[in-house]
Each structure stands twice: as C-alpha cells, then as structure tokens.
Structure 1
Amino acid sequence: MHLPSEDHLGAVTRILRYLKVTPGSATNRHSTSVYFMFVGGNLVTWRSKKQKVVSRSSAEAEYCGMAHGVCELLWLRRLLRDLGFRPKKPMDLYCDNKAAIAIAHNLVQHDRIKHVELADVLTKTVSRSIFLNSLDKLGMRDVFAPS
C-alpha cells in the first residue's frame, strides 16, 4: 500500500477481470454461522455454514450460531466420553456479541427472536419465479401483466 508498482496494478486488473467474468453467488439475507472447537488448546474441528433461516438481527444470527456451536460441543463431549476421556471441567462457549449473550442468559428473551423461513417478497430480493409464486400464494395479481 505504501509503495504500489506496475506489477501491483497488473495484479489488481487481473483480479477485477476475473471477478467481472465469474458468475457471482446468489445474494440473500441468510447469515453465516462460524465456529471452532478446541480440545486441550488444539483446533480439532471448525465449520462455516449458511444458516437455513433469515434472522431479524445480528444478535439473533449470533445466537443461532451459538446454538449450532453448543450442538457441536455436545457431540464432541459424547465422542470424547466414548473414547474414554472425561472432561475435567465444563466446556466453554465463547461469543463476542453482547446482545446474543444476553438472550442466552435470559429465558424471557428467547420469545423475542423470530425466524423467517422464506424471504419476504415485499422486502427481500428473490428470483422472478419465487416472486411470482409468492404473489400467487398471496392471491395478488400483477396489474402490469398483459391481459
């Protein structure tokens, strides 16, 4: 950054050309859950996966990610037990989102998080076929459609 050269400009141009001709992935409102599992300070598993539902907030998305992480922790704990290892202390779950932590600690707040299984055709970008199908299900008609 402090001393760009012609080689750097050429590399950037190649990257931009590649991005221009490469079909991009579909953009949606689904968050990505990412978690890592450590045993004895060693990384043993990690996961990065699109969530199946659309979260209404980043706190909800983080909370869902924590829930997936807990499931993985429970699986790993059972696996270690089956292999003859008994954890000497409870397994820790770390999260850096204060709102998600507050939801996890307060059972009353669990009702505040809602999931939208399908993208709302009135507020989200969806494909034309999904849009038309949703309009049909809602009993709406396209007033601009040729008659």
Structure 2
Amino acid sequence: MVYHEGKEVIWFVLHKPDGSIVQHGNAISEEEANEQADLLDLSILPVESQLGDVRDWYVSAGALTRKQEIDAEEEYTIAADGVAEVSFQVPEGTPIIFQKAWHLSDGEFAFTTDTPGDYEVKIETGATTLSKRVIIHAV
C-alpha cells in the first residue's frame, strides 16, 4: 500500500472511449482523481493497485483487461512465386508498418510476392493488442 500524509492513495487509470489507457496514477481522494479525469476530458477507472506496464492493458466494459497478442509466428518462409501467402488476423484499425509505410488493418494481414528477400511487418500496439514484429523470408 502507498500512503500520503497517513492516507492510503487511490490508484486509477484514465482512458479514452476506445479503452486505450492514457494515464495511470494515484490520488489522495476520489475527488482529486475525478478532477484529473475531468481536466483531461477522459473516463476514469479505479484499480486495486499500481500497474506494471500500462501498455499491456486496456479498459473494456468498465474492467481492466489484458491486451491480446497477435496470433502470428515471429518468422515465416514462403516461396517467392507470387502464389504462396502468409496471412493472419489483425484487429481492424490496428496500425501496421510494412515496407516503411503506415497502414491500418482491415482485419487481416495477407502477403505474397514474386521477389525474393526478407520483409518486415511491424504491428503497432493497438487499443486491444500488443505490438508484434514478423519477418517473412521469400525464397
């Protein structure tokens, strides 16, 4: 427990409507915590204790929820024949960096090529997902 001037502090997260956490902190009273939320025009959710890495969490239906990992391997090897494909689900709206360009997922990442080489896919942390790096070897 953490105390300030003899009183136990209140832990909370401030979050956006999509559930992404903007700030994690503590206050000496519920009123002070709510003032911080109002000042930033964010929703507040009291939590039991200090969180480790807030990037691992989001708020869903009023509850603190652990972010999901993207269900994809870290490396794939495919034939560079224009037919072989790597594909995996990525929640819609999740930022993806591929070929040094930003894209927003439409729900699935799919890749095929007829050019041999190594291709890097970076899936950025989304509101409900953790970041992931995938390397595709086309041979």
| Short-chain TM bin | under 0.3
Structure having the higher helix fraction is: 1
Structure having the higher strand fraction is: 2
TM-score w.r.t. length of structure 1 = 0.21
TM-score w.r.t. length of structure 2 = 0.22
